[in-house]
C-alpha cells in the first residue's frame, strides 16, 4: 500500500505553508495554537481521492507532515522575546529556521524510544490522535460513508469564509474588534472585556468544558481578586490604565507561578509510568537485536540511528550558540557556556519529551500547556547561567545573558512542541496500520517544512504589527503573551529584579488548585485542570472570555450529538466546524498583515471613523451572535444529513 510517497510529501508541504502561517498568527494574537491533523487529513483526502491510487496510509503521511509543521509554530512563544527585549530587530531567516529545525529534529528523535512506552504500551486516550484516525478511516471508506468527508470539507470552507469575512468587517471598522469596560473598585480598579472573534469560539469548542471552567476560575481569580487588590492606591489616568498596568505587572507573574506548579505536578505524576514504559521498550529492542522479527507496524527508526542523529544535531546547535555569543560581551566565555548549554539541552530535552508526550496522550496536543513547559525551561536556563557565571559585571553582559537564555530556550521549546505532537501522530498511525519509521521520517520532513515557513511569517507580522512590550509597538501590536512572559522571567532571574513573592503567590494558588483537582478526581467529579486555571489567570480576559463561551457551546453541541444515531460522526462535524472558524480568521490575519506591511498604515481597510464606534460595537455584537447561531444550526443540519 502506498505510504511515504513524493506526492504525499508535496501535498503535506503545501498544506503546511497555510496552516503554519495561520498558527503563527493565532499564537501571537491569542497565545494559543490549534491542532492541524484533522483539517489536514480532510483536505488531503479530498485531493487524493481525485488522484489514482490514493490510500489511507498516504493520507496519514500528509496529516503527519502538516501536523508536525503546524505544531512547530509554537516556537513563537519564545523567539519574539528577543525582539521584545530589543536584542533582535527582526528574524534572520537562516538562524531562525536553523533553531526551529534543530529543536524539532531533536524532538522527533527523543520521542522515538517513547512510542512503545506511551503509545502501544499505555492506555492513554490520545483524543486527537484517535479523532484523526477516525477521520482517515471514514474518508477512505467507499459508498455513503464518503459523503461525510465531502460535508466535512464543505463545513470547513464555509466556516472559514464566515470567520474571514467577520475579520474583514472588523478591519474595515464596521464591527468592533473588542468590547471592554473598566471601572473603579474602592481605591482600585478592574474591568471586563471580550473580543469579537469566531476563532476563539472555535478554540473553546475544541478544548472542552473542563478546561473552560478552569479558565473561568482563573479569570475570576485574576479580575475579581488580584487586579482589584493590587490596584488599591495605584496612580493612573483612568480605571483602564490602572487595571491594565496591574494585570501586566502583577497578575501575569502570579499566573506564571500557577502554571509552573501545575507543570511540575504533571511531571511528578508521570515519572513512574514513563520509567516502566521505557523498560518495556528497551526489552523489545533487545529482543529485536537478538534476531526476533517485528511486524511492519512495530518498526521504529533503529535506536543506533536515533542516537547518531541526536549527536549529529548537537554540532549545528553548538555552532548556532557560538554564532549568537560571538558578537556579545560574553563571547570570551563561549566555550564553557556552550558546553553547559548542550548538556542542559540533552537532559532537559529528555524530560520535556516525556512530559509533553504524556500530556498529549492525556489531553491532546491542542490542550497541552506547552507554554508552561517553556516557563520551566527558561527559568532553568536562567538559573543555570546565574549559578555558573553570575549576572554579568556590566549591564551589557547581563543583557547578553538574558538574550542567550531565551535563544537556548527556543531550541528546547522546539523539542517540546514536536514531542508533544509526535506521539499523537504515531497513535493515529498505530490505529490505521502505518509503519512507524516512515511516519518518523515524515515528522522530520514536516519539521523542515515548518522551519522554512515560520521565519518569513514572523518577519511579516513583526513589520506589520510589532509585539506588545517591544520598542515602538503600536496600538495594534500583537499580544505575544507567552513570549512577553518568558522574556520577562529570563530578565527577572538574571537581572535580579524578579518579583519572587508574586511567583510564590501563584505557586500557592497552583498547589491549592492541584489539591482541589485531585479531590474532584477521587470523588468522580468533573476535573479542574490546574494548567487551565493558570492560563485563565495569565491571559487577558479579552482572549479567554470567548474561549470559555466556546467550551460551553461545544459542550451542549456534544450533548446534542449524543442523541444522534451516529453520535461520533456528529461530534466530528462539530470539530471540523470549529476548525474552520480558526483557520479562516487566522489566515485572514496573515493576509491582513501583508496589507498593513505594504501600506504602512495600522488600519488600511478602514472605511468609517471613530464616530461609527457605537454602531460597530452593538451592531457587531448582534451580527456575531447571529453568525454563531447560524453556524451551529448549519453544523447540526450537516451532521444529520
Contact 227, 188 (CB under 8 A): yes
Angle between helices 530-538 and 370-389 (to 10 degrees): 80
Owning domain of residue 32 = 6-143+273-481
Determine the distance from the C-alpha atom of residue 624 to the mean position of all C-alpha atoms in its chain, rounded to a whole number: 26
Output the DSSP codes for 65-87. Answer: HHHHHHHHGGGGGTTHHHHHTTS
| Contact call for residues 105 and 309 (beta carbons, < 8 A) | yes
Q: Are both 277 and 261 inside the same structural domain? A: no
Q: What is the pLDDT of residue 143?
A: 37
Total domains, the chain: 2
Q: How confident is the model at residue 144 (pLDDT cuts 50, 70, 90)?
A: very low
Mean pLDDT of the chain: 83
Question: In this structure, is residue 376 part of a structural domain?
Answer: yes
For residues 548 and 630, state if they share a domain.
yes
Task: Compute and round to an integer the Cα radius of gyration of the chain.
Answer: 24
Q: What is the pLDDT of residue 126?
A: 75
Grid coordinates representing 469 are 512590550
End-of-domain residue from the set 453, 481, 509: 481
**What is the average per-residue pLDDT within 58-87?**
83
Largest CA distance in the chain: 78
Nearest CA among 422, 411, 224 for reference residue 319: 411
C-alpha 133/C-alpha 186 separation (Å) is: 55
Give the pLDDT confidence score for residue 63 in this predicted structure.
85
Say what the pLDDT of residue 280 is.
Answer: 58
Q: Specify the DSSP class assigned to residue 302.
A: P
The better pLDDT of the pair 276, 465 is held by: 465
The 10s digit of each residue's pLDDT in 469-524 is 777 666 677 777 778 778 888 888 887 777 788 889 999 999 999 999 999 988 88
Report yes or no on 150 lying in a domain: no
Other CB atoms within a 10 A radius of the CB of residue 107 amount to 32
- Which one is predicted more confidently, 38 or 613? 613
Structural domain contains residue 371:
yes
Q: Per the domain annotation, does 494 fall within a domain?
A: yes
Residue pair 462/350 in contact by the 8 Å Cβ criterion: no
541-587: per-residue pLDDT in tens? Answer: 888 899 899 999 999 999 999 999 888 889 888 988 887 888 788 77
Query: Is 592 within a domain?
Result: yes
What distances in angstroms separate CA 296 from CA 300, 317, 546, one per listed residue? Answer: 9, 33, 45
User: Residue 577 domain-assigned?
Assistant: yes
405: its cell numbers:
537564555
What DSSP letter does each residue of 91-133 carry, written as one string?
Answer: --HHHHHHHHHHHHHHHHHHHTTHHIIIIIT-----HHHHHHH
Residues 507 and 616 placed together within one structural domain of the fold = yes
**Positive or negative, the Cα torsion across 196, 197, 202, 208?**
negative
Residue 158, pLDDT > 50, answer yes
Cα separations (Å) of 281 from 287, 362, 442, 587?
Answer: 10, 20, 22, 41
* Cβ-proximal residues to 170 (8 Å cutoff; 6+ apart), any chain: 176, 177, 196, 620
CA distances from 468 to 472, 476, 502 (A): 9, 9, 22
Based on the domain organization, do 79 and 125 belong to the same domain? Answer: yes
Using the predicted structure, report yes or no on whether residue 380 has a pLDDT greater than 70: yes
- Tell me if 555 sits within 8 A of 208, measured CB to CB: yes
CB 552 within 8 A of CB 558: no
Residues 445 and 550 both lie in one domain:
no
Q: Is the pLDDT of residue 614 over 50?
A: yes
What is the Cα–Cα distance from 65 to 17, expressed in whole angstroms? 11
Q: Is residue 127 part of a domain?
A: yes
160 and 259 belong to one structural domain: yes
Q: Measuring CA to CA, which residue among 600, 618, 370 is closest to residue 465?
A: 600
One domain, residues 285 and 304:
yes
Q: What percent of the chain has pLDDT above 70?
A: 88
Same domain, 318 and 240: no
- Cα–Cα distance, 556 to 552 (Å, whole number): 6
Last residue of a domain, one of 481, 509, 526: 481
Q: Are residues 504 and 617 in the same domain?
A: yes
Question: In terms of domains, do 226 and 174 share one?
Answer: yes
State yes or no: pLDDT of 368 exceeds 70: no
pLDDT digits (tens, 9 = 90+) for 394-447: 888 888 888 898 999 899 888 888 887 788 888 888 888 888 889 999 999 999
- Of 50-59, 79-88, 314-323, the range with the highest mean pLDDT is 314-323
Together in a domain, 394 and 440: yes
**Inside any domain, residue 151:** no
Handedness of CA 226, 228, 234, 239 (dihedral sign): positive
* Final residue belonging to a domain, choices 460, 481, 502: 481
545 and 468 share one domain: no
Cα 280 to Cα 357, 512, 583, distances in angstroms: 17, 35, 40
- What confidence tens digit (pLDDT) does each residue in 224-245 have? 999 999 998 887 778 888 888 8
Which cell is 22 given? Answer: 495561520
HSE, side-chain direction, 13 A CA sphere, residue 366:
24
Cα distances (Å, whole numbers) of residue 429 to 51, 230, 432, 434, 445: 22, 50, 5, 5, 16
Amino acid at each position: 500500500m502506498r505510504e511515504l510517497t513524493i506526492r504525499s510529501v508535496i501535498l503535506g508541504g503545501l498544506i503546511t505553508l497555510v496552516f503554519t502561517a495561520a498558527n503563527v498568527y493565532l499564537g501571537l494574537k491569542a497565545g494559543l495554537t490549534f491542532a492541524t491533523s484533522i483539517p489536514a487529513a480532510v483536505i488531503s483526502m479530498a485531493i487524493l481521492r481525485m488522484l489514482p491510487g490514493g490510500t489511507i496510509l498516504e493520507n496519514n503521511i500528509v496529516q503527519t507532515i502538516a501536523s508536525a509543521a503546524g505544531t512547530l509554530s509554537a516556537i513563537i512563544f519564545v523567539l519574539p522575546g528577543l525582539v521584545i527585549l530589543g536584542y533582535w530587530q527582526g528574524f534572520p531567516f537562516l538562524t531562525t529556521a536553523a533553531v526551529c529545525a534543530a529543536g524539532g529534529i531533536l524532538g522527533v528523535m527523543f520521542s522515538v524510544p517513547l512510542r512503545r512506552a506511551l503509545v502501544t504500551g499505555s492506555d492513554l486516550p490520545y483524543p486527537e490522535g484517535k479523532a484523526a484516525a477516525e477521520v482517515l478511516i471514514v474518508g477512505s471508506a467507499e459508498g455513503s460513508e464518503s459523503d461525510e468527508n465531502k460535508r466535512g470539507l464543505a463545513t470547513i470552507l464555509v466556516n472559514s469564509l464566515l470567520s474571514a469575512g467577520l475579520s474583514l468587517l472588523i478591519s474595515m471598522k464596521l464591527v468592533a474588534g473588542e468590547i471592554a469596560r473598566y471601572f473603579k473598585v474602592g481605591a482600585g480598579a478592574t474591568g471586563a472585556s471580550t473580543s469579537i472573534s469566531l476563532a476563539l469560539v472555535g478554540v473553546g469548542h475544541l478544548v472542552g468544558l473542563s478546561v473552560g471552567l478552569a479558565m473561568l476560575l482563573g479569570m475570576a481569580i485574576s479580575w475579581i481578586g488580584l487586579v482589584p487588590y493590587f490596584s488599591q492606591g495605584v496612580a493612573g489616568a483612568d480605571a483602564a490604565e490602572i487595571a491594565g498596568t496591574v494585570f501586566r505587572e502583577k497578575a501575569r507573574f502570579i499566573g506564571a507561578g500557577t502554571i509552573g506548579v501545575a507543570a511540575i505536578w504533571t511531571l511528578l505524576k508521570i515519572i513512574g509510568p514513563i520509567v516502566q514504559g521505557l523498560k518495556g521498550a528497551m526489552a523489545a529492542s533487545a529482543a529485536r537485536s537478538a534476531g526476533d522479527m517485528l511486524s511492519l507496524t512495530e518498526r521504529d527508526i533503529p535506536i543506533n540511528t536515533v542516537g547518531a542523529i541526536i549527536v549529529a544535531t548537537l554540532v549545528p546547535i553548538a555552532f548556532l550558540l557560538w554564532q549568537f555569543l560571538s558578537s556579545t560581551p560574553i563571547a570570551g566565555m563561549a566555550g564553557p557556556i556552550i558546553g553547559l548549554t548542550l548538556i542542559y539541552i540533552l537532559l532537559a530535552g529528555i524530560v520535556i519529551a516525556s512530559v509533553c508526550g504524556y500530556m498529549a496522550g492525556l489531553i491532546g496536543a491542542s490542550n497541552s500547556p506547552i507554554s508552561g513547559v517553556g516557563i520551566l525551561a527558561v527559568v532553568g536556563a536562567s538559573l543555570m547561567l546565574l549559578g555558573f557565571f553570575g549576572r554579568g559585571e556590566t549591564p551589557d553582559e547581563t543583557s547578553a545573558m538574558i538574550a542567550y537564555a531565551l535563544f537556548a530556550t527556543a531550541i528546547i521549546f522546539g523539542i517540546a512542541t514536536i514531542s508533544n505532537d509526535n506521539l499523537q501522530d504515531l497513535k493515529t498511525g498505530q490505529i490505521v496500520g502505518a509503519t512507524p519509521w516512515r511516519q518518523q521520517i515524515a515528522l522530520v520532513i514536516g519539521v523542515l517544512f515548518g522551519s522554512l515557513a515560520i521565519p518569513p511569517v514572523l518577519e511579516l507580522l513583526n513589520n506589520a504589527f510589532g509585539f506588545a512590550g517591544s520598542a515602538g509597538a503600536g496600538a495594534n501590536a500583537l499580544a505575544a503573551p507567552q513570549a512577553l512572559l518568558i522574556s520577562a522571567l529570563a530578565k527577572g532571574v538574571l537581572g535580579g529584579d524578579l518579583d519572587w513573592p508574586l511567583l510564590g503567590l501563584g505557586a500557592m494558588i497552583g498547589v491549592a488548585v492541584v489539591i482541589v483537582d485531585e479531590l474532584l478526581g477521587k470523588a468522580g467529579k468533573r476535573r479542574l485542570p490546574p494548567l487551565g486555571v493558570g492560563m485563565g489567570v495569565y491571559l487577558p480576559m479579552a482572549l479567554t472570555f470567548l474561549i470559555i463561551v466556546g467550551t460551553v457551546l461545544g459542550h451542549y453541541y456534544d450533548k446534542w450529538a449524543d442523541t444522534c444515531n451516529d453520535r461520533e460522526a456528529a461530534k466530528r462535524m462539530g470539530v471540523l466546524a470549529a476548525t474552520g472558524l480558526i483557520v479562516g480568521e487566522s489566515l485572514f490575519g496573515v493576509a491582513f498583515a501583508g496589507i498593513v506591511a505594504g501600506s504602512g498604515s495600522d488600519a488600511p481597510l478602514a472605511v468609517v471613523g471613530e464616530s461609527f464606534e457605537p454602531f460597530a460595537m452593538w451592531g457587531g455584537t448582534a451580527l456575531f451572535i447571529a453568525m454563531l447561531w447560524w453556524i451551529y444550526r448549519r453544523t447540526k443540519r450537516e451532521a444529520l444529513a
